[in-house]
Amino acid sequence: MTGGLINLNANPLVTTPFDITGAHELSVSNGALPETTVYPTNSATSALVLDLLLSDGGVDTLASTVTELRFDTSLSTADINDGSFTLHATGLPLAGLAANVVGNELVFSGLNIVVGNGVGTDVELRFTPVGGSLGSSDGDYYRVSIDQSDISVLTTGSQVTTSSASNGSGMEIDVVASKLTIGIQPGNGTAGLILTTQPTVFATDAFGNHDLDYTGLATAFIENDSSPNGAYLDGSNQRTMIGGFALYVDLRIDEAAMGYTLRFTAPGLAPAISTPFDISPSTASTMRIETQPGNGVAGMNLSTQPQLVIEDAFGNTVDDTGTQVSAVISTDPHGAAVLQGAAMIPSMNGIVDFTDLRID
């Protein structure tokens, strides 16, 4: 037939049946479990950072299988390497599956989390600290989030609809102090002067992490006293810790000796002991008669020769050598006595020993 019109709608064609897979009905949201908001560093258990609910809408009658989850941590101030992040869900090992850290993401690959048609599956993201020195500071936090772009599923079954979940304002790291830690050790000093280096102390946990919230009173004492007469720690030996920190400014010891140590204490914390330091005598300012002269016989040396010690203002023997010291008769009941022998001799290491004084 030519020149006519054919009506194609008169005999419509019908295909054989087929299915539409990958309907967008898998969603992600926060679960019902209470998430950890503050995590103390002395905790012996893991923390629930994020409770995640994966839900299948049930429209396509197919289960959803999640193969990868990626959690974003870019809003965190805490160091992502300060602990182990593990994923816990049905079908995963009881101890959880450890994350691979890729940039600011916690990546869990090779998953086989099956979310049944029309039901939900709970997934927990947990944190366990490394148990050592942290890269994070007291008060830093982990903020974790996930949305549809962070979830991979099998090509068959439900695809992920626009949805998200997060742990809100985050999980704060709370350093809980258990001991004092010396930041700067006390330095050597000179009698009567403040120590050349004044000590500092921090409130820290068992791993040396600084507790910024501690406000106790830190007190310094002499722990090892190697002085001959018993020393006393002068200066302001009590300091209020602000932000878990105390700086001493005017500590001194007037008794010269080697090997002093200081002990630092604060309420509720284990004490800290400093490394040894020395206190040297000050400058020479006086002499002290260590041994008084004894009786004698005319023309013979005194039975006991006098000995003198050169001291500083605090009674410490000064290591002085070469100072000439003279002896003269102070009281002369005879009226014309003359002191014989070597009446002027030099000091030696702060000691002056006369050896042949006599009066004829």
Q: Which of 92-101, 151-160, 223-232 has the lowest mean pLDDT?
A: 151-160
The average confidence (pLDDT) of the chain is: 92
pLDDT digit string, tens, across residues 316-331: 999 999 999 999 999 9
Residue 222 has pLDDT above 60, yes or no: yes
Q: What is the pLDDT of residues 10-51, one digit of tens each?
A: 566 655 654 444 456 899 999 999 999 999 999 989 999 999
pLDDT in tens, 145-185: 999 999 999 866 668 899 999 999 999 999 999 999 999 99
Q: Is the pLDDT of residue 107 over 50?
A: yes
Tell me the CATH class for 179-280: mainly beta
State the DSSP H helix or E strand holding residue 165, giving kind and residue range, or none if neither.
strand 164-166
CATH number corresponding to 24-174 = 2.60.40.10
User: Rounded distance, CA 284 to CA 39, Å?
Assistant: 59
**Do 24-174 and 179-280 share a fold?**
yes
pTM of the shown model: 0.80
Instruction: Please compute the mean of the pLDDT values over residues 249-274 and round it to a whole number.
Output: 98
Q: What pLDDT score does 18 carry?
A: 40
Decide: 249 and 218 in contact? Cβ < 8 Å.
no
d(CA 85, CA 100): 9
Domain positions in the chain: 24-174, 179-280, 282-360
CA–CA gap between residue 57 and residue 73 (Å, rounded): 28
Burial class (CB in 10 A: 0-12, 13-18, 19+), 131: exposed
